[in-house]
Structure 1
């Protein structure tokens, strides 16, 4: 092996090592921020409402089915989140202070009432899931 080739290999290794150290130094703070956001949502919203209609949502593989949910303004519904994934998933609607969570293979139910018509984003607050596309829309009609 020539001297130039050894120097080139050493430079590539050094750059890779420095890049790994820099990424390692930056990632924990971003991860900590995402984990804090997840913890802030706390316990599920209110308990299921007796006699309210049920709307089902399924969480699996970084997506919700259906990706769009429609309800009428002022109507109380029970949203049942079924988790078909291998880890915890939740569904939050920040604009309505709604939160439902389900462990793998289980269901979580919470009641939801939206007073005003509009479109509200919902997503999974587990770190990285929203960014991977695990989100949808709640459309509240008159």
Structure 2
């Protein structure tokens, strides 16, 4: 009996250790990507080295917001929408991308991975293409448009390794 419980626990932990990779057409419990033309409001978010401005945002359930993301820092940054658990999972994915040479301090390589040492089954098709996330290189501007589905507490964060932990996270409140 003890052995069976141990195997179940080990199997459960193994499943939890894999990153969640979203499909571009995937919807989330808190909303979905939308075309910019459907936006009812535009919000500019400035990404600086280890901070966002503004630090918090308020939106309404059902609202479609076009985020214009301006990286005024010297480092590559990310704007990722989700709850705290999603950010933890995405940080693991970003660590693997960095370890594989796909992410540098200032950009993302198209195919910068060292394929000779990588487990092709695990990372061969890894891309940064989640619909709730965008990378912004230093001095560049990018956009993400999102329709918020329900009221709740979310975060917008940079999950480049170490950035979230250093405080590059903001509160996003979705009200009715």
Q: Gaps (5+ residues) in structure 1? A: 1-35
Q: How far apart are 1:61 and its partner, in Å?
A: 2.0
1:62 aligned to which of 42, 50, 61: 50
**What RMSD over aligned residues (CA atoms) do the two structures have, in Å?**
2.7
Larger helix share, 1 or 2? 1
Q: How far apart are 1:88 and its partner, in Å?
A: 1.1
Equivalent residues, number = 105
Alignment of 1:1-142 (within 5 A): 46=33, 48-52=35-39, 53-95=41-83, 98-142=132-176
Could you tell me which residue of structure 2 aligns to residue 6 of structure 1? Answer: none
Larger Rg: 1
After TM superposition, the score normalised by the length of structure 2 is 0.53
> Structure 2: how far apart are the matches of 1:49 and 1:136?
22
- Secondary structure, counterpart of 1:50 in structure 2: helix
After TM superposition, the score normalised by the length of structure 1 is 0.64
Higher mean C-alpha displacement, 108-117 vs 94-103: 94-103
Q: Gaps (5+ residues) in structure 2? A: 1-17, 25-31, 87-130
Larger strand share, 1 or 2? 1
